[in-house]
Structure 1
Amino acid sequence: MINLKKSFEDALEFVNNKVCFVRCDLNMPSTDGKITDLSRLDKVVPTIKEILLRNGKIILISHFGRPNGKFNETLSLKPMVPLLEKRIGKIIKFCDEDIKNSDKLKKKINKLNAGNILLLENIRFYKEEEENDPNFSRNLSSLGDIYINESFSSSHRKHSSITGISAFLPSFPGKLFQYELQNLNHIVKEMQKEKSIAILGGSKVSTKTGIIENLSKKFNKILIGGAMANTFLASQGVNIGKSFIESRLLEKTNYIYTVNKDKIILPIDCIVSKSENNEMNSAVDIGNVKNDDLIFDIGPKTRKIFYNEILKHEKLLWNGPLGLFEKKPFDNGTNYVSSIVSKHKSDRFFSIAGGGDTISALKNSGYIDDFSFISTGGGAFLEFIEGKSLPGIEILNN
């Protein structure tokens, strides 16, 4: 459990006519250049509005995608301007000028009036951001008066806009940041081995070996789906056809499963097809997958097992879709299992889900509003649950 020494309410005492950096996360899921889920944008709006009510001047900072320190027009934040304007009800100024030319940018910022908002271009267009370059952080911080971290989802990164600026400015958590931490603290504190269950899905097990090992000590059961289940199944000698696996992790997943066989539940059947666009698909038992098959979802037997296991527990943690939810009918597994949350409502049942793809998948299922809490964090969400220290939280408490 981690508690914050400062609050968003503390920040509000100082924002009047001050230039407030608000580090938000506009890195939202997109397909073919179109944003498919605006959850992260929607959740930062209340923070922005509260600062505006107190006559603050706001500079929004965010990243989008992985431009690797170079300008990439397809990853520009400029298309975010009308989306923000629609939700906030104010004109948003966009700044695509070089942040490193602080004198030129300062003139633009000096023209801001109380209640104005300026959105900076994608912060990851600058290699210094991910390098956490102290000079870059110092120059950026010289443009503002206060820093507010409203990007819990990025707070596992030691980046300039997360930890660097905080070394030079009075720094505070945002409203959403506080709420995220409060709910994550709840599940960490209340986790009781016999009453807690986790669902872990998604494509890669490489990002989740640590969390699986950690949760296996605290949770009664861990349900594994998505493409990451393929690596576990292959490690047990199961033929998974042409399905995606991480071969270098076969030994590791075999060890994890062997040690935690009484806790980890793997799929016993799956939905296979020859390609994601092939309309022909079928449910087959694990062990009957053909050499040219591709696994795209958990099967109906597995869905019922997962569903019934959740019914036995009072705490649910969910990260990662159980199939290729973007393509119907491979969203059926996620949809069926998530439906339990709407039926398993009681004062004792607490459900939390996190991660960009997880949120998109649960929105698609129609059951996202039935969860007790939805975290905007992906990697930060997992690292916090795993018990790791997050640099973005540490710097706020220093």
Structure 2
Amino acid sequence: MAKLTVEDIEVTGKRILTRVDFNVPLDAGKVADDKRIRAALPTIRYLVERGGRVILMSHLGRPKGERRPDMSLRPCVPVLSGLAGRDVRFVDDCIGEAVIAAVKELGDGDILLLENLRYYNEETRNDKTFAAKLAALGDVYVNDAFGTAHRAHASTEAITHFIQPCVAGFLLMKEIAYLGDLIESPERPFVAILGGAKISSKIGVISNLLPKVDRIILGGGMSYTFYRAKGMEIGDSMLEGDKVDLAASLLKQGGDRIVLPVDCVISNFLDFDQRKVGELRGVAAEAIPPGWLGLDIGSRSIARFGSILKDAKTIVWNGPMGVFEIEATAKGTYAVARALADATANGAKTVIGGGDSASAVARAGVADQITHVSTGGGASLEFLEGKVLPGVAALTDK
């Protein structure tokens, strides 16, 4: 990448202010999934082993400017200490005298984790005064939080105006490399799989990928808007009525490169909050009766998608094929996950664009059989749309 990285700087004895993504799920005050902490380890270890004084900052959840104990980063301390093999210090703020004092006490190779950045609304407002206070804590700035790279926040964008150099960590480098190669030089056939509830959240991705891919497989709730654009009845299935014309335009533009499910699993009842569905039936896509709604792709679609993926050399997936949070309607999503694992074993490069797709491959037990599972759902989506990520653009050019 055309930005400075941790490998381009001298770190010994310097205060290395490092933005990480420790936005981890908590359960009863403990970290329920340490995947994001593990993802930051290569950068942390590199800095520590070279005598950097590492100051880590992150957000967790959406406290909206309140000091909420249930969103404290403190539970990350024992997890990171165990993974890094050394004590990690913690300070219960991210700016102020207590933080300045804690930073002064650091020796070479020490690690300090600051409290949740979003305890201050100034973080999400990209406030320059707040950013300057953060910047004053370090000599060098490292961004290794790909999951927030699409946000222009104080700790990712404004901060770079007050500290130099600003460099990329290994995780950020890895994410940009995988996603960048995917777009710029994919081995063919190149297949994109896009799912999820709404076409509105995927318009940019579909439009950007259509000229680049050999096939785009569409599933999930948004597929029913495409069905309606083809004049098909969809019962009570999810519909974005104001996007029907857009779906029709995309179908015309994509031609046979756009692949829709040929059948689906429908139900006469759904209570998502209670994770309950009514009677389930498998029907052809054009045979959804009134009062029923589509919740998953059917067996023929699974077979059809599988045959396309079997021959692919590059695959990117973002968005589930159905309501995978409910076991009875998760079969299509899990089948796609297993198809990607099989494709990887056959030599294909497979990339999961974070978010629900990352959860799906984990639940299907095949996360370690995928070439790359992105740590950033929103960031990977915007990258695939061709958008500039503020957190990356703000880093120092080589």
> TM-score under structure 1 normalisation?
0.89
Is residue 149 of structure 2 the alignment partner of residue 151 of structure 1?
Answer: no
1:1-398 equivalences under 5 Å are 3-11=1-9, 13-14=10-11, 16-28=12-24, 37-97=33-93, 99-100=94-95, 102-169=96-163, 170-191=165-186, 195-273=189-267, 274-275=269-270, 276-278=275-277, 280-345=279-344, 349-398=348-397
Bigger Cα displacement from structure 2, 66-75 vs 372-381:
66-75
Following TM superposition, by how much is the alpha carbon of 1:332 offset from its aligned partner in structure 2, in angstroms?
1.4
Following TM superposition, by how much is the alpha carbon of 1:324 offset from its aligned partner in structure 2, in angstroms?
2.2
Q: 1:70 to 1:255 in 2, by over 3 A?
A: farther
Following TM superposition, by how much is the alpha carbon of 1:35 offset from its aligned partner in structure 2, in angstroms?
6.1
CA contact (8 A) 2:29 2:75 kept: no
CA contact (8 A) 1:29 1:356 kept: no
Whole-angstrom CA distance in 2 between matches of 1:288 and 1:318: 27
Q: 1:175 to 1:366 in 2, by over 3 A?
A: same
SS of residue paired to 1:223: strand
CA contact (8 A) 1:172 1:396 kept: yes
Bigger Cα displacement from structure 2, 19-28 vs 253-262:
253-262
The one-letter code of the counterpart of 1:316 is: I
Whole-angstrom CA distance in 2 between matches of 1:247 and 1:301: 27
The one-letter code of the counterpart of 2:181 is: H
> What per-residue deviation string (whole Å, max 9, x for no partner) do you get for residues 107-166 of structure 1?
222122333322222212222112211111111101111111101221121111111212
Following TM superposition, by how much is the alpha carbon of 1:254 offset from its aligned partner in structure 2, in angstroms?
2.8
CA contact (8 A) 2:344 2:350 kept: no
Whole-angstrom CA distance in 1 between matches of 2:67 and 2:372: 36
SS of residue paired to 2:296: strand
> What per-residue deviation string (whole Å, max 9, x for no partner) do you get for residues 318-353 of structure 1?
112222222213221122122223333578622211
CA contact (8 A) 2:91 2:115 kept: yes
CA contact (8 A) 1:4 1:393 kept: no
Whole-angstrom CA distance in 1 between matches of 2:33 and 2:295: 22
Q: 1:89 to 1:239 in 2, by over 3 A?
A: farther
Bigger Cα displacement from structure 2, 106-115 vs 23-32:
23-32
CA contact (8 A) 2:183 2:212 kept: no
Whole-angstrom CA distance in 1 between matches of 2:33 and 2:196: 17
Whole-angstrom CA distance in 1 between matches of 2:82 and 2:29: 20
> TM-score under structure 2 normalisation?
0.89
Question: Which runs of 5 or more structure 2 residues have no equivalent in the other structure?
Answer: none
The one-letter code of the counterpart of 1:259 is: Q
CA contact (8 A) 1:8 1:178 kept: no
Whole-angstrom CA distance in 2 between matches of 1:257 and 1:65: 38
Following TM superposition, by how much is the alpha carbon of 1:52 offset from its aligned partner in structure 2, in angstroms?
1.6
SS of residue paired to 2:329: coil
Bigger Cα displacement from structure 2, 24-33 vs 344-353:
24-33
SS of residue paired to 2:113: strand
Q: 1:140 to 1:197 in 2, by over 3 A?
A: same
Following TM superposition, by how much is the alpha carbon of 1:180 offset from its aligned partner in structure 2, in angstroms?
1.6
RMSD (Å), alpha carbons: 2.5
Whole-angstrom CA distance in 2 between matches of 1:324 and 1:344: 24
Whole-angstrom CA distance in 2 between matches of 1:119 and 1:289: 53
How many residues get paired?
A: 391
Question: Which runs of 5 or more structure 1 residues have no equivalent in the other structure?
Answer: none
The share of aligned pairs that are identical, in percent, is 36
> What per-residue deviation string (whole Å, max 9, x for no partner) do you get for residues 48-84 of structure 1?
1222212222222112233333333433323323332
Q: 1:344 to 1:160 in 2, by over 3 A?
A: same
Following TM superposition, by how much is the alpha carbon of 1:199 offset from its aligned partner in structure 2, in angstroms?
0.3
SS of residue paired to 1:282: strand
CA contact (8 A) 1:37 1:360 kept: no
CA contact (8 A) 1:4 1:396 kept: no
